[in-house]
Structure 1
Amino acid sequence: MNDRPPRFITPQGFARLRAEYEELFAVERPKIVETVSWAASLGDRSENADYLYGKKRLREIDRRLSYLAKVMKAAKVVDPATQEQRDTVRFGAIVELADEDDNRRVVTLVGEDEADATSGLISWAAPIARALVGAKVGDERIVRLPAGEKSYEVINIRYPSQT
């Protein structure tokens, strides 16, 4: 039985994964294969840097392609712009938070494979996101972090608009 939660992802996140897959598969991998073939034709491969590096890079690309294919197959694309209940924090919400010292930050709840904390994109499975799901403006939520508990107030909730 599969007890793993769904692998939610936004349409933009899915498009980025697909673009990376296509770039690796159609552009970068063929270039490396060509380099490896050329280097192999030179004879002794044991000290041939182009050959050795190319084979190593080819393995890295193949691993990444396999990973991306698995992620895309398991992905459940959810468009936050279609969220009907816009007054509650759900997947894809853009949430403005204030901590106890009134330090504010804006976070967007996204899929695990598109999270980038430095850009404010946090995985919906992260502790802060789990604490926020279901919250409304004005709600205070306690987030349990390794460094201790931290309290946040939800200042604003919005979702991307439909295009």
Structure 2
Amino acid sequence: MSATAKTNPITPAGYNALKARYDRLLGVERPEIVEIVSWAAGNGDRSENGDYLYGRKRMREIDRELAHLARRMKAARVIDPAEQTDRSRAFFGARIELADEDDHRQAVTLVGDDEQDAGAGRIGWSSPLARALRGASVGDLRTVRLPGGEKEWEVIAIAYD
């Protein structure tokens, strides 16, 4: 496993969202399911008890997600984009305006993989486009290999919030 695979760059807001999800699962959802399972277990035959069977299944799902979130938070390296000193190049947290060969413009923000949302223009740090844009300056041309073939993008603007 490489060093980049072990670390999980994430914005402060992204880390707070992971932590809030973890806390909600552990402090609210899991205790509710435990209560339902305990109640259902007291109702006799568990093999045909839908509340018991569903509750046990849901508890396993919650436990799996808690373990996943704990691993992601442990590997997280919180990086605040506002502290970026070289604002002339694209690094973690940068908001980048791009133009393709047909001058179609698109704005993307480089964020951690756990907070990516392509529909909102937030692309994960390890995605092909993010890897191609790392270190780019305004005016640079970057080629990205996509499933449909290669696509070239020009960096129009870079900003940090």
Settle same-fold status: TM greater than 0.5.
yes
In 2, Cα distance between equivalents of 1:139 and 1:96: 12
Give the CA deviation at 1:50.
0.5
- Residue of structure 1 equivalent to 2:131: 130
Unaligned runs of 5+ in 2: none
- Residue of structure 2 equivalent to 1:58: 59
Helix, strand or coil at the partner of 1:85: coil
- Percentage of matched positions with identical amino acids: 61
Q: Deviations over 1:85-110 (max 9, x none)?
A: 00100011010111111111111101
Residue type of the partner of 2:77? K
In 1, Cα distance between equivalents of 2:104 and 2:64: 41
For 1:27-66, list aligned pairs within 5 A: 27-66=28-67
- Residue of structure 2 equivalent to 1:103: 104
For 1:1-163, list aligned pairs within 5 A: 2-5=1-4, 6-160=7-161
Query: What is the TM-score normalised by the length of structure 1?
Result: 0.95
In 2, Cα distance between equivalents of 1:130 and 1:33: 43
Q: Deviations over 1:111-156 (max 9, x none)?
A: 1111111111111111111111111111111111121110101111
Unaligned runs of 5+ in 1: none
Question: What's the RMSD between the two structures over aligned residues?
Answer: 0.8
Query: What is the TM-score normalised by the length of structure 2?
Result: 0.96
In 1, Cα distance between equivalents of 2:78 and 2:45: 49
Helix, strand or coil at the partner of 1:56: helix
Helix, strand or coil at the partner of 2:45: coil
In 1, Cα distance between equivalents of 2:96 and 2:70: 31
Residue type of the partner of 1:152? W
Q: Compare 65-74 and 3-12 and name the one that shifted more.
A: 3-12
Give the CA deviation at 1:7.
1.1
Equivalences, count: 159
In 1, Cα distance between equivalents of 2:40 and 2:140: 63
Kindly report structure 1 stretches of 4+ aligned residues shifted beyond 2 Å: none
Give the CA deviation at 1:4.
3.8
In 2, Cα distance between equivalents of 1:120 and 1:3: 27
Residue type of the partner of 1:76? R
